[in-house]
Structure 1
Amino acid sequence: MLVVLCASLLAVSCRNSAEEARTSLSLKIEDGEGSRTIMPSQTLLDVQQYSITGSGPLGAVFGPVLSTDSVVSIKDLAVGKWTITAKALNAQNNELAEGEGTFTISKGENEATIVLDDMTGTGTLQLNFKWSSDICTETEICILIKVEDSKGNVITKTREISKSVESATVVMNLDAGCHVLNVQVQDSSGNIGIGATDAVRIVANTRSTGTIELKGSKPSDPSSGSNGTSLSIDNRIGTPMNFYIDYFPKNLSKGKFTTLNACYTNLPIGVTEKDLTYQWYRDGVLMSPASADNISFMADEGVHRYDVIVKSSKEGTLCGASLNLNVSN
């Protein structure tokens, strides 16, 4: 998530001391891009207003100045060094991002930039799991959850439950920002055969809810592929990044060479194909360390979930897509 504030400062008077000299400050706000999969409602990701505060020479302060416009005029500022903080707020006044800069304001025109690249606060992730009682032959299953943020910090959680209940809910408190969610399921013997990977967006003081259906490997007829597109959102100006997975050949069978392609319908402003990296997962397990928009393999019999996580060099643009492939003999 990136927001740039370009500050243009104009002196309106000239006096002998920093305490007496005053200027006006004009802030131009430009929105950046962002994206995600499991998330709050779109309205809670939209910026409704900006809050700007500052502290300057001899204890001078201003704000908070609130504005829904892209240009904010702040008058009667003392000439000297100022530290200015800007925050982006949603409709519930929860912080989406903030940034800070220190500038020396002098007589005449001044230019300054503040980058809002810090997604602040904590929010809640709620995961609702569903499965059928024939998910495995054991009576108990263990759901292993790993959440990794953009800085590589990892939080893990384990939930053991009887498979007969066919559902479970797990709630986690996470720092605001973009995360990669990895889920794997073990039976009581420690065997792993089911999993999923998703992109997650957390907003301060807000709950992001996702439902994950866990499917066993037992095949059904006819052979098919079903798009389970799970991705996008969080663009401050409302333009989502959307990906889906396509596959060929369409006539799936065991042992046949199969290729998956990550396809997009549009990219946010400022993001190009060369900025993108990809991670492919099968049942929640990383398939290859290589990063490409496609992957090929020999199809196995059964139902398997394939996920792709797409990243770019811009903070907040994490997204993902999923596909369930059902291959019979």
Structure 2
Amino acid sequence: MIKKQLFIIFSLLFIISLVGCSSTKETGIITKNSLTVSIKNNIQTQTLQPNIPMTIISYTISGIGPNNETFTENTSDSFCEIKDLSIGTWEITVEGYNSEKTKIALGTTSAIIKAGEATQTDVTVTPLTDSGTFSLNLSWPSEEITDPIITASITSSSSEITTDISSKINLLNNTANYTEKLEPGYYKFSLSLNDGETLIWQTQEAMRIVGEQTTSAIYELNVNDLEEPQNNNSESGIQISVTTELNNPINISLYGGKSDLGIKETMTVSASTDQVVDSYQWYLNGQLLNDEIDKEITIGSNLGTGHYKLTCLVKKNNILSSEEFNFSVRQGITGIGEINLASAINDVIWDGTNYWGYRFDTLYKYDSNFNVLEEHNLSLSSNIMGITWDGSNFWILSYSTLYKIDSTYNIVESFEVPLDWVGAIAWDGQHLWIATDNLIVEYDTNLNEIARYTDNIPSIEEMTWVNNNLWIMDRSIYPELYLFDSSLEKVYKYDVYDNIPNKEFQNDVSGLVWDGSNFITFSRSEFKRAYKIYGLQP
């Protein structure tokens, strides 16, 4: 029998792999196969702690499968092997333990192991969601206070709801005690002690509640702590941390970062903290940048294309806090080549094999060198303004009329576009997108409006969808190519004009097409010239 194997790899991205060959019986029916589980450690290093370590040291991985088949593995290494998992659905549980062997995190998922193929699933381990306990113990010299009054409240940092717990505190002689279950998370704890109407002592603490653990606030006041304030604007007392692990985290804000950089482009990122810190460290994708020890870093000039995570780690005494910033480096335009055309073209689309373009109301089919293979006069009422292809039909804008034309060049349907002016059209695989100057409208195939987009939209010359991103050539004097994501958030801008070989013509580009290898745009001034844009990889 060929055995199935489970490989488990851990790092900052914790990975459990069940990998191997299929197990078969003599009948040839596959009964064993492979599973890969990625486990992401979502325990934050900069957060406050109760009186337990919040770093995961080891994991227990367990699973329940078909016919209640189970496995359990404990590991702290980078590799673990589990054999012989049956085909079917498995419920996977991962428990994270700290150095004291206390469970502090949990993650679960379901995975279906199929015959003849490996399966991958992700598990994120997060702090326990069960309630934790908050415990208060306050004491003071009995001879100093004759009429003790306790006022206390707890404010949730997530909901910002403040709960007055004063009436729940138990007073006995010269002590005050309180215990309550709270949901995991961060809270602000406010506590004051009065002698009658006179404020004697008060404090405010930041605290963290962790599932199945106790956060204790213990205050043992002495005579020196109970000095009365000199006036109503000054305060007397002591500030005591609940535990050393419950000091406030250092709040860090990063400024100046760009979500996208071009090759050799730089950015300067500055860290701002809410308190003076002892040191700064910067990491790029987890690697320490040894020479970067200031609150400001300039980065980007030597980075290749890809996705990056920049992390700033600050330290004050024993408190470590970190903040991260994600960005990408994109390949820029490496050059623009001129193509001389046999005939003038306003714009083209690419159907996967051939280019299709138009001039006035005539549709042309071109080969890869833009030689005319076919031409079809569509006898439209007006000249063509834009064209797109949905895989089966042409959609052609002729001023305010939208025509659906099949592959035999017959008009299937026509619609009146409810816009004052139209200039570009694109197909995203499901819907039509029609542009007018700085407005883009999304329509279904019956021209029912779905959404409108105006924020950050440039003056549009032409647009096209490629790999779930919208690319827009603008109508400015110095043409630029914009990249937008699927929610039409602007991602990056490429300068086209600076790369055009002949700088004589401004506002010189018309149309935009992606042919699977390069973008191509056309000269507005020289009607028999096209520009092929090199270097961009959507």
TM-score (norm 2): 0.36
1:104 and 2:117 equivalent? no
Tell me if 1:178 matches 2:194. Answer: no
Contact 1:141 1:160 in 2 (8 A): no
- Match of residue 141 from structure 1: 149
Between the two structures, name the one with larger relative contact order (CA 8 Å, sep ≥ 6).
Answer: 1
What are the ranges of 5 or more consecutive residues in structure 1 without an aligned counterpart?
Answer: 235-239, 245-259, 274-309, 314-329
1:262 equivalent to 2:275? Answer yes
Contact 2:35–2:113, Cα closer than 8 Å, also in 1: no
Q: Which residue of 2 aligns with 1:218?
A: 229
Match for residue 53 of structure 1? 62
C-alpha distance after superposition, 1:28-54 (max 9, x if no partner): 655442455462143xx3434212222
Q: Distance in 2 between matches of 1:182 and 1:37?
A: 14
Q: Which residue of 2 aligns with 1:21?
A: 31
SS of residue in 2 equivalent to 1:78 = coil
How far, CA to CA, are the matches of 1:18 and 1:230 in structure 2? 64
- Equivalents in 1 of 2:147, 2:34: separation in Å? 70
Task: Give the Å deviation of 1:180.
Answer: 0.5
2:66 maps to 1:68: no
- How far did 1:202 drift? 3.5
User: What does 1:146-161 correspond to in 2, within 5 Å?
Assistant: 146=154, 148=156, 150=158, 156-158=164-166, 159=169, 161=171
Q: Which one-letter code corresponds to 2:32 in the other structure?
A: R
Mapped contact 2:61–2:74 kept (Cα < 8 A): yes
Judging changes above 3 Å, is the alpha-carbon distance between structure 1 residues 233 and 75 closer, same or farther for their aligned structure 2 residues?
Answer: farther
- Corresponding residue for residue 363 of structure 2: none
Equivalences for residues 117-132 of structure 1 within 5 A? 117-130=126-139
Q: What is the deviation of 1:86? A: 1.0
Q: Residue 200 in 1 paired to residue 200 in 2? A: no
Work out the CA distance in 2 between the residues paired with 1:64 and 1:217.
61
Q: 1:231 to 1:312 in 2, by over 3 A?
A: farther
**Rg (Cα) greater in structure:** 2
Q: Please, which runs of 5 or more residues in structure 2 have no aligned partner? A: 1-11, 252-272, 287-294, 296-320, 325-538
Distance across 1 between alignment mates of 2:197 and 2:322: 32
Give the CA RMSD over aligned residues: 5.0
**Aligned counterpart, 1:33:** 44
Query: Which shows bigger deviation, 152-161 or 201-210?
Result: 152-161
Residue 8 of structure 1 deviates from its aligned partner by 3.2
Mapping 1:180-329, distance limit 5 Å: 180-185=187-192, 187=194, 195-212=202-219, 218=229, 233=245, 243=250, 261-265=274-278
How far off its partner does 1:115 sit? 0.7
* Cα distance in structure 1, aligned partners of 2:62 and 2:29: 19
CA offset digits 1:220-259 (Å, max 9, x no partner): 9xx99x997778759xxxxx99549xxxxxxxxxxxxxxx
State the secondary structure of the residue aligned to 1:218: coil
Whether 1:113 aligns to 2:122 is yes
Among the aligned pairs, what percent are the same residue? 16
